[in-house]
Amino acid sequence: MTDVVLTSVAEGVATVTLNRPAKKNAITTAMYTALADALDAAEGDPDVRAVLLRGDETVFCAGNDIGDFLDRPEAGPDDPGFRFLRTIARFPKPLVAAVCGPAVGVGATMLLHCDLVYAGEGATLHFPFVDLGLVPEAGSSLLLPQAVGHQRAAAALMLGEPLGAAAALDAGLVNRVLPDAEVLGVAHDQAARLAAKPVTALRETKRLLRSGTQAALLDRIEDEGAVFTRLLGEPEARAALSSFLARP
């Protein structure tokens, strides 16, 4: 299954690609492990100075693979998904994302941990957790209101209202909106620019930018994770997820 998460290194940039477009890059347990492993390898590789996260030109990530989710309701704090969330939250090197098409669930919340986000004109951020009988994850209940304010965060997290690319730009969730065909090139160029800068100064700047909320963020990820896991095993979420899976 690791072939659905591809990694390559060039110009000091590790590119991590979600490569399951036929399934809209929905993330399985094995993919979470591969993503966490890729970030750990990038952190430990002195030749990697920045990381670029990308999906397909038609879809970034449709969130969790629902069938996979229904097969593991016992998911706990050591689950590969939670390992990935902790890893991306702590990652010390610059993270850049290239987002085309839908970014749903964890596909949207992981973007809150990226330092720079470049979106295609067709990109959409969607946080449908409540509709699935669940709660937000990845610290998004902390990071999203910090970024966009309580009312916008409530509309996104409680009502599940999607944000198109223009709305995401207006809310400060992405740095720039581009034609879909240009997103990857621009995002890679920006990651390469970061990779060419003095390493220690760049890492310390990222640490300082995050230091005021890092401890609270990691605590929130654990809090969200405990509630998420509990709700995942309850009838309301099971019914909602099963209904979603049954859609044509």
How does pLDDT run along the chain (248 residues), one tens digit per residue? 457 999 999 999 999 999 999 999 999 999 999 999 999 999 999 999 999 999 999 999 999 998 887 776 556 667 899 999 999 999 999 999 999 999 999 999 999 999 999 999 999 999 999 999 999 999 999 999 999 999 999 999 999 999 999 999 999 999 999 999 999 999 999 999 999 999 999 999 999 999 989 999 999 999 999 999 899 889 998 888 888 877 76
For residue 92, which of 38, 40, 17 has the smallest C-alpha distance?
40
d(CA 137, CA 123): 21
Structural tokens at position 16: 């991590």
d(CA 126, CA 164): 9
Give the per-residue pLDDT at 1.
44
- CB contact burial 136-158 (16+ within 10 A = b; e otherwise): bbbbbbbbbbeebeeebbeebbe
Task: Specify whether the backbone of 67 is left (phi greater than 0), alpha (psi in -120 to 50) or beta.
Answer: alpha
Give the per-residue pLDDT at 238.
87
Cβ atoms of 140 and 106 closer than 8 Å: no
Give the per-residue pLDDT at 246.
76
For residue 43, which of 9, 20, 3 has the smallest C-alpha distance?
9
- Third-level CATH fold of 2-180: 2-enoyl-CoA Hydratase; Chain A, domain 1 (3.90.226)
Give the per-residue pLDDT at 74.
58
Cβ atoms of 238 and 231 closer than 8 Å: no
d(CA 236, CA 194): 45
Count the Cβ atoms, other than its own, within 10 Å of residue 34: 23
Give the per-residue pLDDT at 245.
77
Q: Is the Cα torsion angle 164, 166, 172, 177 positive or negative in sign?
A: positive
Q: Which pTM does this prediction carry?
A: 0.94
SS (H, E, C) 14-78: EEEEECCHHHCCCECHHHHHHHHHHHHHHHHCCCCCEEEEECCCCCCECCECHHHHHCCCCCCCC
How far does Cα 169 stand from its chain's mean position? 17
Give the per-residue pLDDT at 241.
86
| DSSP state at residue 111 | G
